[in-house]
Amino acid sequence: MLGLARADLESLLRARKLDRTLTTALPPVSSAPGDTGPRDDLAVSATGLSTLDARLGGGLPRGQLSELVGPRSSGRTSLLLRMLAAATARGELVALVDVLDRFDVASAQAAGIDLDRLLWIRGHVVMNPGLCRDLNQRALEQAVNALTLVLQAGNFGLVAFDAADAPSDAIRRLPFTTWLRLQRMLEGSQTTCVLVGGERLARSSAGLTLQLGIRDSGFGVRFSGRVFDGLDVDARVVRSRARSQEQADVRVSLSTTCA
Of 117 and 5, more confident: 117
Least confident piece of the model among 46-50, 86-90, 162-166, 231-235: 231-235
Query: Residue 106 CB: number of other CB atoms within 10 A?
Result: 9
CA end-to-end distance (rounded Å), the chain: 43
- Give per-residue pLDDT as tens, 73-88: 788 888 999 999 999 9
CATH of span 2-23+46-255? 3.40.50.300
User: Quick check: 202 pLDDT over 80?
Assistant: no
Q: Is 67 in contact with 208 (CB distance < 8 Å)? A: yes
The span from the CA of 124 to the CA of 119, in Å, is: 17
Query: 41 to each of 7, 186, 188, how far by Cα in Å?
Result: 28, 12, 7
The span from the CA of 13 to the CA of 101, in Å, is: 21
Average pLDDT rounded to a whole number, residues 14-40? 48
Q: Which of 208, 206, 132, 194 is nearest to 163 (CA)?
A: 194
Most confident of 56-65, 109-118, 174-183: 109-118
Least confident piece of the model among 94-98, 193-197, 231-235: 231-235
The span from the CA of 203 to the CA of 72, in Å, is: 20
- Mean pLDDT over each residue of the chain, to the nearest integer: 76
Residues in CB range of 205: below 8 A, 6 or more apart: 65, 176, 179, 180, 183, 240, 241
Least confident piece of the model among 24-38, 64-78, 90-104: 24-38
User: Quick check: 137 pLDDT over 50?
Assistant: yes
Give the number of residues written for the chain: 259
The span from the CA of 136 to the CA of 173, in Å, is: 11
R_g of the chain computed on alpha carbons: 18
User: Buried b vs exposed e over 112-134: b needs ≥16 C-beta within 10 Å?
Assistant: ebbeebbbebebebbeebeeeee
Q: Residue 42 is which amino acid?
A: L
Q: Where are the domains of the chain?
A: 2-23+46-255
Residues in CB range of 62: below 8 A, 6 or more apart: 43, 44, 45, 189, 190, 191, 192
User: Quick check: 182 pLDDT over 90?
Assistant: yes
The span from the CA of 185 to the CA of 212, in Å, is: 27
